[in-house]
């Protein structure tokens, strides 16, 4: 049995050297009401005003992967009950992929506080 990914992603990557928050950039992009690709990744190398749960803040410098993903849930046919699991699955998938590429690297996932 062969498997084929339903969707290869991301369609679009925006790379920013420094920004306050990748989520703020994502919100601005969505607010423009311009058509977006089904999967858009916004990566910030140096994040100065990141936010987690309960408005906890953190900074991330070069070496950390800080990004937000915008998903077109209709185009991707994602059911609402799956939405809360997407960030967890994404974080684990990125770590797993990097671990395969860099087997000796000390990789970990820092969940938003």
Residue 6 located in a structural domain: no
- Taking alpha carbons only, the member of 15, 39, 35, 38 closest to residue 25 is 15
Give tens-digit pLDDT for 28-39: 999 997 888 899
Which stretches within the chain are classed as H helix? 22-31, 83-101
Residue 95 located in a structural domain: yes
Domain that holds residue 46: 12-101
Residue 28 located in a structural domain: yes
CATH code at 71?
3.30.930.10
Residue 85 located in a structural domain: yes
Residue 110 located in a structural domain: no
pLDDT given for residue 88 in this prediction: 86
Residue 44 located in a structural domain: yes
Q: Half-sphere exposure (CA, 13 Å, Cβ side) for 75?
A: 12
pLDDT > 70 in the chain, percent: 87
Residue 106 located in a structural domain: no
pTM tops 0.85: no
Total domains present in the chain: 1
Q: E strands along the chain, which residues?
A: 12-19, 39-51, 57-60, 66-71
Residue 64, classified by CB atoms within 10 Å of its CB into exposed (0-12), middle (13-18) or buried (19+), is middle
């Amino acid at each position: 049995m062969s498997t084929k990914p339903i969707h290869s992603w991301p369609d679009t990557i925006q790379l920013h050297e420094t920004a306050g928050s990748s989520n703020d950039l994502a919100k601005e992009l969505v607010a423009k009401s311009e058509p977006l690709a089904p999967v858009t990744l916004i990566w910030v190398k140096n994040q100065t005003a990141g936010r987690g749960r309960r408005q906890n803040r953190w900074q991330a410098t070069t070496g950390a992967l800080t990004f937000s993903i915008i998903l077109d849930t209709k185009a991707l046919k994602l059911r609402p009950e799956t939405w809360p699991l997407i960030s967890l699955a994404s974080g684990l998938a990125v770590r797993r992929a990097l671990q395969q590429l860099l087997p000796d690297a000390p990789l970990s996932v820092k969940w938003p506080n």
